[in-house]
Amino acid sequence: MKGVLQGFLVMILWVAISFADEPLKLGKEITLTDTVAIGNILANPEAFVGKKVLVKGKIVGVCDRMGCWIDLVGKTDAEKIRVKVKDGEIVFPQESKGRVALVEGEVEKLEYTREEAIKYKEHHAKEHGEPFDPSTVTGPMTIYRIKGLGIVIE
């Protein structure tokens, strides 16, 4: 039995290594062909709200809990946008951090009251093990992100 289990594990490892260079496709098939720079979206987000876009960037963050979001950066680290997917519908593997992703999705605008912003920032700080002071939130907050529909991780 031990030999069978070891053989099975070796086979799984071989398959994983064999396909490691294959892109990982998640969600729906990508239909758009022209990419939009993340920096362009961030420079004028209102022009993109409600529109479907195709972006390409390096994955610099992955949700630790459910794999329900990734953070992508464009040309610079300052050009960062979150890609959020429906919980459980798509799960981003932790190993995708550092890889390049092609994402098709819809640009969303989230508006929070001061109270909602406090809850959002408190949750974010708790997720990352960071301290949080509610007095740092002085008013309402607006966030722009991409609702991911189809993703290819290179």
Q: What would you report as the CA-atom Rg of the chain, rounded to the nearest whole angstrom? A: 18
Q: How far is Cα 31 from Cα 125, in angstroms, rounded to an integer?
A: 36
Q: Where are the domains of the chain?
A: 22-109+142-153
Residues in the chain: 154
Confirm if 132 and 3 have CB atoms less than 8 A apart. no
Which superfamily, per CATH, for 22-109+142-153? Nucleic acid-binding proteins (2.40.50.140)
Task: Please give the pLDDT value at position 66.
Answer: 86
pLDDT in tens, 84-131: 999 889 999 999 999 999 999 999 999 999 999 999 999 889 887 899
Instruction: Measure CA 94 to chain center.
Output: 11
83, 96, 73, 82: which is closest to 25 by C-alpha? 96
46, 153, 49: which is closest to 91 by C-alpha? 153
pLDDT in tens, 98-108: 999 999 999 99
| Phi, psi angles (nearest 5°) of residue 41 | -65, -45
Q: In this structure, how many other beta carbons lie within 10 angstroms of the beta carbon of residue 90?
A: 20
- Which pTM does this prediction carry? 0.81
Residue 121: in which H helix or E strand, if any? helix 114-127
Confirm if 78 and 121 have CB atoms less than 8 A apart. no
Task: Please give the pLDDT value at position 20.
Answer: 58
Task: Please give the pLDDT value at position 80.
Answer: 96
Share of the chain above pLDDT 90, in %: 76
Query: Comparing 146 with 63, which gets the higher pLDDT?
Result: 146
pLDDT in tens, 43-94: 999 999 999 999 999 999 999 888 999 999 999 999 999 999 998 899 999 9
